[in-house]
Structure 1
Amino acid sequence: MTNKIILRFSIFLIVVLASFSAIAQNSRRVYQSHKMNGNQLELITNDGNYEIQFYNQNIVETAFIPKGEAGKGESTAVVLQPEQTSVTLIEKGNELQFLSEGMNVTISKSPFDISYSYKGRQLLSEKEGYIKTDSTENIDFTIDKDEVLFGGGARVLGMNRRGYRLQLYNRAHYGYGTHSELMNYTMPLVISSKMYAVNFDNAPIGYLDLDSKKTNTLRYESISGRKVYQVIASDTWEGFTYEFTNLTGRQPMLPRWSFGNFSSRFGYHSERECRATIDQFLKDSIPVDAIILDLFWFGKEMKGEMGNLAFERDSFPTPEKMIADFAEKGVKTILITEPFILTTSKRWDEAVKEEVLGTDSIGNPYTYDFYFGNTGLVDVFKPKAIDWFWNIYKGLANKGIAGWWGDLGEPEVHPAGLQHVNGSADEVHNIYGHYWAKLVYEGYQKDFPNQRPFILMRAGAVGSQRYGMVPWTGDVSRSWDGLKPQTEISLQMGLQGIAYMHSDLGGFAGDNLDDELYTRWLQYGVFQPIFRPHAQEAVPSEPIFREAKTKALAKKSIQLRYQLMPYNYTLAFDNNRTGLPLMRPLFFEEQNNKELLSVSDTYMWGDAFLVSTITDAGLKEKEVYMPANSVWFDFVSEKKYEGGKSYTISTEEDHIPVFVRGGSFIPMIKGMLNSKNYSLENMELHYYHDMSVTAGKGHLYNDDGETCDAFEKGKYELLSFCSAFSKSKLKITIATEKGSNYKSLNKNVNWVIHNIDKEPKKISLGKKSIDFIWDKELKTLRFKGNVTEGNQSVTIKLR
């Protein structure tokens, strides 16, 4: 036997023995006993204890605590307290069954095994369960061979992420396009097409293996930390998102101006440039609600000045007046901040003196080089650093700053040797952005309790939505390849609780002047959570600086965005109350249609709109699937389509394909230049009638757009709409609900009823006949009515 053959055989033998050792370690796990601690089941084995506990009938948590470890530790993801759920423990021979009304945890004593089912539907089972190797701690499961897997945070892999081993390490991917395995926002969370999820409730870096070896194995690998996971299951996708956000927290209501248009670029160099830009928006009558200042607000140069965190008075001589002047015009000012304090910045000595930076192994500030200079990093986990950083935010907020852009918060460069107060860089890297958002959010709760914060950040963790985080998809390529995956990222993140994921409209990276691309991206932006064109400045991101035709098309999209603000704001309310995403995959509509599990370029915007993006240059037509059990109307042409099949849709220059579900109510407002002028006093209410729809419903939420917890404080109104159709009579009812501390205005409603193909005989508001206008060509019926408190009804007698 040659030396080379001997070497190969030795390596093979080592690998086999190592694999056998890892498997054997777990295969030798022996059940010894069990006991109940209240509603918690404790299993004692030869190498550690399991603690299994229901949060409610849909959510169960399993924690493994190896011998020698004190406990399971604290969660950074979970906020739900276990409810008083009815549980049952059944012991029968070799088997234990621990049951809620929905979930069943089955434990085999020998060989030791744990499996999960929901209402008789098998979900998954531990394969080898917890395994400790020389470098990692793993938990693995057996899954079905046909499951489609979502999750893992923000990636560009197609909707089905099965087959990938995903690194869990938040890291920016500059200029990405149609494929990205690692991006700014990773999560140790997997969601199955069987409507369940496993959340590996642990912070340190690692991997999430979604059956990469095609052995029907799901595996979580981490360098250290908690051996804890939750299984969440439901009968419906709506129920799933409700339960998952019940567990991890729900997004607070954003200020209403957040749903308007942002003026943003990398970046505005001076106060004069900022003022001129906003003046041009107003001159062109293009609605705008906010301006975002990138890093030049605190320094003239791109490098060497990060961490100053104060206005550069040479280029911004009167920032307080600028902020106030913008506010008078209804325009909010947002500042970028980063957690890096450069050694060349004006705050370096202060940061060192106050001991707010991550350290080396002996307690000195840890410094290192990255793109912007030599730097330290704020330790956002350290109470002293939290107070220091927040006081800077507080001082600027007192000057009128209305929102914050937290950039580079992965953190972008985070050396493994850097120590935080609660662990090494690698142990806390993936929750850094989460705690940064928490710092800002809780600062507002303490010092500005009546102001809703706006917190734009690109990196977070499971549950960051509860701190009001508004994430974006990172430094996407300014190209058609960059536009293509934007819906996939947002739909995936919405499933994972992060409903406000959105993109730099028009694309960010690269000096590509493509007017068609820009137009199509902004048309998509109307139907995504935040409308914010942003890019490197060589090619302008703001519509006011584009050529006339492109500007006009962009203006039309922005105006539509503002017209839909009542509808969009209601979506935000629904998300706040239930966790339901604003953007929803088509499989929410047809839960048994497996073909829809891979679709991302067509999606639901709320319950009423079906949106299909255009992501190829010069595209003349597109196949669009219309979900079954509904009829659909082209939002522009009014053409009707039966659901349950695909249609070839001809594309138009001034809009992307958008359709409205029959039986939907769409509240709209016209004429706003920004949300400062928002009022429902004169509103349009569109209803899409079809003879096949015997009952329709919708609702409209309203408050002052700025009070925190307005709903909880009774400072709101809620209008509920219902339609009933039978025997040529369409009856629409409006019911009003007013919070105990809210004074509502009477509303002059301009009704628009769609798909009325013959002139009605009579329209009555209550018992009073009213005038109407019927458009034969458009098949629309228009009339006016006044909505006051209480219930009202409109009856339309059709021919």
Structure 2
Amino acid sequence: MISSRFWLSIVLVFFSVTAHAATYQSHQLQGNQLQLQTDEFTVSLSFKSKGSVEVLYQKACLKQLPSFALAAPEQQLAATLNEQPQQLEFATTDLTVRIDKAPFRLSYYRGDELVLAEEKGFFAHETLRGFRFQLQDDEKLLGTGQRVVGMDRRGQRLPLYNKASYGYGTEAQQMYFGLPAVLSSKKYLVLFDNSASGFVDLGKTEKDVLQFEAVAGRTSYIVMTATSYPALIEQYVTVTGKQPLPPRWAFGNFASRFGYRTESETRAIVDKFAAEDFPLDAVVLDLYWFGPDIQGHMGNLAWDKKAFPNPKDMISDFKAKGVNTVLITEPFVLSSSKRWNEAVQANALARDLAGKAKTFDFYFGNTGLVDVFSEEGSKWFEGIYNELADYGVAGWWGDLGEPEVHPADTIHSIGTADEIHNAYGHRWAELLYKNRLEQQAAQRPMIMMRSGFAGSQRFGMIPWTGDVSRSWEGLKPQVELSLQMGLLGMAYTHSDLGGFAGGEVFDKELYIRWLQYGVFQPVYRPHAQEQIAPEPVLHDKETKDILREYVKLRYRLLPYNYSLAYENSMTGMPLMRPLFFENEADTSLIANKDSYLWGDAFLVTPVTTAGVKSVAVQLPAGVWFDYWTDKVYQGGKTIQQPTDLTTLPVLVRAGSFVPMVPAVQSLKDYSSRQLELHYYHDSSVNSAKGMLYEDDGVSPDSLKSGQYELLTFGAVAKNNRLTLELNRTGLGYTGMPKQREVTLVVHQFAQNSELLVNGKSHRWVNSAAELTAGTAWFDKAKQQVRVKFNWDQAKVKVALQ
């Protein structure tokens, strides 16, 4: 319900700006694009989906840059135009744009509900341009990317200039990866498709006005609306592009630090993981792979053969063990580096005002910057990646891509630094992603970068939250950061587990708590400055014993986690989900940044304070199980969930299916031939569904070609009888198991006399050791029924009564 105060404010704004507002003159409709001419500017409206429309204002002599946010349209949409004497209405079935002719103004409706209206709308004065919208009194605002300012960001004025935030903790208004997009509790999203330096003012300066301003750039915004938050996110990724599936190994454990200095040290750490019985899928090499010191060598981007005499053999040996090599690269080329003259001669670098390669000083030395927007810069950079790929490198880490230092008088092929700054990492990711697909068409790119723009997810970007303080203050905001990024497409945002910056004394509890949290976030990558080892295998026995089980749990959950990746690639649904998704009518839930949903099944509350024995958990409606004990909690209230150093507070929703497999040393040996399927039963749940997505873990075309298998699970409870049904669909893939040995675990189900699998009785045994295919066992202590059978046909039905 829109308040009377809101309507009053609209009227007041109408009278206050009438004298300065533009006036409609004419319009022209071509397909799904409407072009409007006013006495001040031209406006083009183009529907990008049924629930989204792009609005582009163009004024004479105002330079426009290309869109960076928009993906190629998936389909042509039918739109209707209705003309009245004072208004035009341009609409699809899901979104209507109302155009007032005098004064000229755009408003956006979902059905009959006004969701967003321009206030002044477009403005352009000298070197400042942007948009103003009217805010409703009771709406809450999220978005804008990486910030530590709380979940509801209304009342903030936030810079839009990607910038390093070294050693941040519980407050940070400006960070590595800003996003010029705002998501409202009124279920609309407005994305400003402008890469220039600017600000977004979310009711800070004027409490009822949302204002975007920039010093240059494209004068365009996209409005999206939907009836639910997940549907709104799906609109966003439909417009800006969907995240391709990462390679399966990216869900495994990473060995990473700043940094491994020699080949022998790198080999030793990989061997150490195996010796300590810790699974491992990747080793990450920081800048020492191309130089012996931190300063003076950036831009070499070739192996330092003194430190790494046999990199090809090393990478090949790692690959045989299932360990993939990830290399850091940066876009800076120092004038002291071995490639400086080569880069200058190739015209690969951004220029100064005299037209020469621009140089400037920063921490690593005197440097130039690759112009990733130019054909010459792109070609030069691609050549380096091609060289490195020949060594067998499997993953790419792009660092400092804000760019970390970017003088305003740096000239790129399409504009100045301030015009394109926020799109630099985005364009770098695009260059690398397309190059890898072109050169390695059968392999999914793995690209980890800390800065980008709206839509960077379509280039497979995996962001992290930067150089966080190695402290409790650094751990506290990690959920907020990942949740906010996931709302805007960047669903693989993760943290340097254990913290990166500072810390002279090992805080064992902090370290364990951070790595426990890592099991239920997108990428498992401990990484830190080397004065305290980031690798769990280098710590004391208790630390290793606790964390070994958590790393193995990460591997056991691979079928569940990989299915979340599938869901994200199809719909944009983030892997980490805020609690307000559970009850969209209760906007107070937006503030919760302590707990989150990992997929649909798990409710996770990281421990972010030392020495606690319990944590407060705000339970959504329904019934919830303690993951470790199967203790049952009734939802809709706040509980104190017990915890100790060995247990991360995790709950599982009643009615959930959680597929698991035995842990392996590396995901190269992953298989679901032995599948453990958990169903969390409660009498309050009459029916439930689940699924498991499987493919070869490698092919970039798995989804497009249909080369995958989708396992679906269903449960129906009626009259003390529980029926579970398992189905298999899809074209299949190379290496797909033709038969699976399934252990079905039904939680909180008392033993009964009858158990049928496809209509045939299963024999009850007396212990877990006797459990084989065709038998069942009741674990009295845990109140679990375990049923084992072979699944070698399209459908299996299990009935318990």
Q: TM-score range by the shorter chain?
A: over 0.9
TM-score, normalising length: structure 2: 0.95
Correspondence 1:76 to 2:80: no
Partner of 1:478: 470
Greater shift after overlay, 156-165 or 765-774?
765-774
Name which of 562, 570, 577 aligns with 1:584: 577
8 Å contact 1:698–1:721 — kept in the other structure?
yes
Partner of 1:456: 448
Correspondence 1:794 to 2:772: no
Partner of 1:488: 480
Amino acid at match of 2:220: V
Q: Deviations over 1:474-531 (max 9, x none)?
A: 0000000000000000000000110000000000001241010001101110000000
Cα offset, 1:68, TM superposition: 4.5
Partner of 2:154: 162
Helix, strand or coil: the match of 1:749? strand
8 Å contact 1:717–1:742 — kept in the other structure?
no
Q: Distance in 2 between matches of 1:184 and 1:73?
A: 22
**CA distance 1:476–1:69, change in 2 (3 Å):** closer
Q: Distance in 2 between matches of 1:283 and 1:240?
A: 47
8 Å contact 2:245–2:569 — kept in the other structure?
yes
Q: Distance in 1 between matches of 2:735 and 2:301?
A: 41
Name which of 44, 48, 53 aligns with 1:55: 48
Cα offset, 1:361, TM superposition: 1.8
Q: Counterparts of 1:70-469 in structure 2 under 5 Å?
A: 74-81=66-73, 83-469=75-461
Name which of 519, 523, 534 aligns with 2:512: 519
Partner of 2:692: 700
Amino acid at match of 2:508: D
Cα offset, 1:553, TM superposition: 1.5
Q: Counterparts of 1:355-754 in structure 2 under 5 Å?
A: 355-512=347-504, 513-628=506-621, 630-739=622-731, 742=734, 744-745=736-737, 746-754=739-747
Q: Distance in 2 between matches of 1:78 and 1:583?
A: 24
Q: Point out where structure 1 has 5 or more consecutive residues left out of the alignment.
A: 1-19
Amino acid at match of 1:66: K
Cα offset, 1:792, TM superposition: 1.6
Name which of 12, 22, 28 aligns with 1:29: 22
8 Å contact 1:297–1:312 — kept in the other structure?
yes
Amino acid at match of 2:158: L
Partner of 2:10: none
Helix, strand or coil: the match of 2:703? coil
Amino acid at match of 1:227: T
8 Å contact 1:26–1:128 — kept in the other structure?
no
Q: Distance in 1 between matches of 2:697 and 2:21?
A: 59
Helix, strand or coil: the match of 1:131? strand
Q: Distance in 1 between matches of 2:283 and 2:526?
A: 11
Amino acid at match of 2:698: E
Helix, strand or coil: the match of 2:624? strand
Cα offset, 1:82, TM superposition: 7.2
Q: Deviations over 1:662-694 (max 9, x none)?
A: 111111112311111100111211111111111
8 Å contact 1:86–1:101 — kept in the other structure?
no
8 Å contact 1:25–1:131 — kept in the other structure?
no
Cα offset, 1:134, TM superposition: 3.0
Aligned residue pair count: 773
8 Å contact 1:126–1:141 — kept in the other structure?
yes
Cα offset, 1:36, TM superposition: 2.1
Greater shift after overlay, 465-474 or 360-369?
360-369
Cα offset, 1:713, TM superposition: 2.2
Amino acid at match of 1:481: E
Q: Distance in 1 between matches of 2:675 and 2:276?
A: 24
8 Å contact 1:232–1:240 — kept in the other structure?
yes
Cα offset, 1:26, TM superposition: 7.5
**CA distance 1:26–1:517, change in 2 (3 Å):** farther
Amino acid at match of 1:791: K
Amino acid at match of 1:340: F
Cα offset, 1:185, TM superposition: 0.4
Helix, strand or coil: the match of 1:212? coil
Cα offset, 1:42, TM superposition: 2.2
Correspondence 1:44 to 2:48: no
Cα offset, 1:143, TM superposition: 1.2
Q: Deviations over 1:741-773 (max 9, x none)?
A: 5563110011111011x2121211102211211
8 Å contact 1:302–1:372 — kept in the other structure?
yes
8 Å contact 2:255–2:283 — kept in the other structure?
yes
Q: Considering only aligned residues, what root-mean-square deviation do their CA atoms show, in Å?
A: 1.5
Cα offset, 1:534, TM superposition: 0.3
Partner of 1:15: none
Greater shift after overlay, 488-497 or 318-327?
318-327
Cα offset, 1:777, TM superposition: 1.8
Partner of 2:752: 760
Q: Distance in 1 between matches of 2:537 and 2:75?
A: 53
Q: Distance in 1 between matches of 2:83 and 2:157?
A: 38
Helix, strand or coil: the match of 1:772? strand
Amino acid at match of 2:246: L
Q: Deviations over 1:164-213 (max 9, x none)?
A: 11111100000000000000001111110111100011111111111112
Name which of 776, 782, 790 aligns with 1:778: 782
8 Å contact 1:136–1:223 — kept in the other structure?
yes
Greater shift after overlay, 61-70 or 484-493?
61-70
Partner of 2:8: none
Q: Deviations over 1:712-750 (max 9, x none)?
A: 223211100011110111111111013165563110011
Q: Distance in 2 between matches of 1:766 and 1:306?
A: 64
Q: Point out where structure 2 has 5 or more consecutive residues left out of the alignment.
A: 1-12, 763-774
8 Å contact 2:655–2:682 — kept in the other structure?
yes
Helix, strand or coil: the match of 1:711? helix
Amino acid at match of 2:782: L
8 Å contact 1:80–1:246 — kept in the other structure?
no
Q: Deviations over 1:550-604 (max 9, x none)?
A: 1212212111111101100110111111111000001111111112011111111
8 Å contact 1:663–1:696 — kept in the other structure?
yes
Q: Distance in 2 between matches of 1:38 and 1:330?
A: 52
Cα offset, 1:69, TM superposition: 5.3
Cα offset, 1:91, TM superposition: 2.6
8 Å contact 1:26–1:131 — kept in the other structure?
no
Helix, strand or coil: the match of 1:258? helix
Helix, strand or coil: the match of 1:41? strand
Q: Distance in 2 between matches of 1:284 and 1:695?
A: 43
